[in-house]
Chains A and B, each alone.
Chain A
């Protein structure tokens, strides 16, 4: 589903953001990308949804080579992905259901199918009752659930979550994390960038740790001792 091979990424000023990053995510996996702020997690996420392109190396996502992707093919890749962020990125002047429907409308879904699909994902994230609420009328956890619903409504094969619990309290964090686990259990690949090690320790998922732009630990290939060392370093 996802394969990064010897990926380097430099900023326009020449400063390196990623150095020789390689990993592969298979169908059905849940992967944590961990590391402190500025380590390179978000850069990896941006490469995965083609917001940025690698300087060297190959990034393949859902069959698309991000490095050589033509601009007109970027929307096609993104329709196969769901992306959620720490700041939710909901449209303040639209209700929860309108925010979700928006993702379907802009991708040209048949208007007569939109209503039913919106209700389905609202039920999936447990917020059917908030369909007509505006973002300002919802808690942070609820807003993130709506953002997740929006990401899910196009039935993506991969869900990318960049610090999805970064703005949430402990209870909301647990709820959102459980929701992501449920989504993964239903077959969607989930890649979650987080610096919340407590969350990482809660679940037996694969963990990739990034430090100064390089992968220093991957639980799929490294021994658990180095995982501990990596955690200590945090």
Chain B
């Protein structure tokens, strides 16, 4: 193991320029991937804020007994999709209208009869805020006899869904493309290293080194390049994040950076990329060396 590590580390010293080039290209590939990840992460955070406001409002028929509504509210709260149910009586609705719709304050003050219906406001749990779930819950609410109408922002719930899907597809495609580019680059650098060290490999074979002993240092070298590349890409991402956040003069102060779990994932992904590319490259090249 000591020799394996020494040979892998020695490879960096023997070809510093080539190694630096490999690490840099891996870092830039992962940096681009990381930047996209940051955009996706922040978009997701922003979407979550909007999604939290997804609300279904069921308007209650005038004259419905309070006990009926209370019982129904308990039923609705038990729906698996439902996070919170709030009953707004007719009086509360009027009070809220007076408070929130300032421009109509005078009109509401002079009213003899309250024209606003009572309503049941339903908020959904995370993961159930897509158009399908919203529609399903709305349909069940319509099933109550005392419900006159059910409203929710159908269009923008569908738009949210659309945006979420696009983010997923574009992110996945760009991620895969960059991962492929990074693998090709690592593979080429490992292949160049193998050709550089063909004589050494021939001697190893001659004196009876095992297959995995010969391959081990190259695989470790690839994994180390992935590790360094991954770590460097995180630094670049952090630099980019700070630059973007600070240059926005406060408008993007709420931007988030990767969590430690995300960072670990990027570095592990770098290591796996390096290792995978080395496995492919060494397997193909060692047949010819």
Contacts and interface: CB of A to CB of B under 8 A. Distances in A.
Interface residues of A, number: 21
A227 to B, nearest CB: 32
A93 interface: yes
Contacts of B208: 75-79, 106-107, 154
A107 B206 contact: no
A102 to B, nearest CB: 7
A71 interface: yes
B274 to A, nearest CB: 23
B3 interface: yes
Nearest to B209: A106
B102 interface: no
Nearest to A80: B208
Given A91-B199, A91-B200, A72 B211 contact: yes
Contacts of A76: 208
A30 interface: no
B199 A107 contact: no
A107 B3 CA distance: 11
B210 A154 contact: no
A102 B210 contact: no
Given A93-B14, A106-B213, A150 B199 contact: no
Contacts of A49: 206
Interface residues of B, number: 17
A78 B14 contact: no
A103 B200 contact: no
A210 interface: no
A100 to B, nearest CB: 10
Contacts of B2: 111
Contact of B207 (A71, A103, A111): A103
B211 A106 contact: no
A78 B210 contact: no
A83 interface: yes
B284 interface: no
B46 interface: no
B207 A150 contact: yes
Given A89-B199, A91-B200, A105-B3, A83 B206 contact: yes
A154 B211 contact: no
Contact of A71 (B200, B209, B211): B211
Contacts of A72: 210-211
Nearest to B213: A106
B253 interface: no
Interface in A58-90: 71-72, 75-79, 83, 89
A91 B203 contact: yes
A150 B205 CA distance: 13
A91 B208 CA distance: 16
A154 B211 CA distance: 19
A33 to B, nearest CB: 18
Contacts of A111: 2
Nearest to B210: A75
A107 B214 CA distance: 11
Contacts of A103: 203, 207
18 contacts: A71-B211, A72-B210, A75-B209, A75-B210, A89-B202, A89-B203, A91-B200, A93-B14, A102-B203, A103-B203, A106-B3, A106-B207, A106-B209, A106-B213, A107-B209, A108-B213, A150-B207, A154-B208
